[in-house]
Amino acid sequence: MSTFSGPPPLLDALTRLGARAGQRASHARGYCAVGHFAPHADIARFAASPLLGDGPLPATMRFSVGGGDPEASEKTRNLRGMALRLHSLHGAYDLVLVSEPIFFAATPVSYLSYLEAHAPDPRTGAADPQRIAAHQLRHPDTLRLPALLAAHAAPASYATTPYYSTHAFLFTGADGVARPARIVAEPAAGTCYLSAAQERELPHAFLEHEMDERLLQGPIRFQLHAQLPAPADPLDDPSMPWQGSARVPLGVLLISALADNSCDAMTFVPTRLPAGITATDDPMLRARSGVYASASLARRR
């Protein structure tokens, strides 16, 4: 297995898992939406960011299915994503959230090993079980997310799944204290997964129509929280679920309409942060940002 030496090998490994030319290496299938984010009235006590003090902020979102296949079935038991950009005169803030509370791997090395182990063998068109088994022995951190995904069906709607940052960030409040937290977006409609009958009978593409029909009844609402860590929760390992139960309200995200596909040209970078919010030393966070910000956009062009 090759070792990690920056964004290109990680992106190459994602591409070998099935990314299409001109498409995103990951989360290729998706839909754009627009709305706004209304920060909580007391948000400055936790995050004294000028951007978040601007009142309701226009928001551009992209909802997506994990993987590099733009025609992937929307019934697959894979990650769902909500990438979100908040706009302000004070800059922009990207939130890159997924539908499980942990990421694939703890480090770039173990993530690269995971991608390489699951890449199809050119001779057979399928992944080598022995290579996967050897990888799992070396990197047991990559077993956690697949177990969560297999434990339930796919979301019944983009509006009925929670989304998580998986990475921790440092939020500096009005008192000047920086506090670590992960971000959670809770759906007002509750969490709902496909039934066994829906898994069998729904078409492979149903999420855009479902969201369009739902929006006819009014905006889709998410409550954003900052999840605070318990004393033993790691700040630099996104493959580990946090045990901390305390949450700080950040505000409400309202999705008002689906949009054209212009957000497909956007690159959402998890370290595009406003003043008052900074990245932790999580190596996986920095590696993902490097891939998204440089190599991924250049490869799509």
Query: In percent, how much of the chain has pLDDT > 90?
Result: 71
For 7-300, CATH number out of 3.40.47.10, 2.40.50.140, 1.10.1740.10, 2.40.180.10 equals: 2.40.180.10
What are the extents of the domains in the chain? Answer: 7-300
Count CB atoms within 10 A of the CB of residue 123.
7
**In which band, very low, low, confident or very high, does the pLDDT at 182 lie, cut at 50, 70 and 90?**
very high
Stretch among 44-48, 115-119, 279-283 having the lowest mean pLDDT: 115-119
**Cβ-Cβ contacts under 8 Å for 249 (sequence gap 6 or more):** 40, 42, 43, 223, 224, 225
Where is pLDDT greater, at 26 or 297? Answer: 26
Q: Is 93 annotated among the ligand-binding residues? A: no
Nearest one of 30, 17, 70 to 158, comparing CA atoms: 30
- pLDDT above 60 for 83: yes
DSSP state of 203: -
Helices (H), 33-143: 108-118, 129-138
Q: Which sequence positions are flagged as catalytic?
A: 27
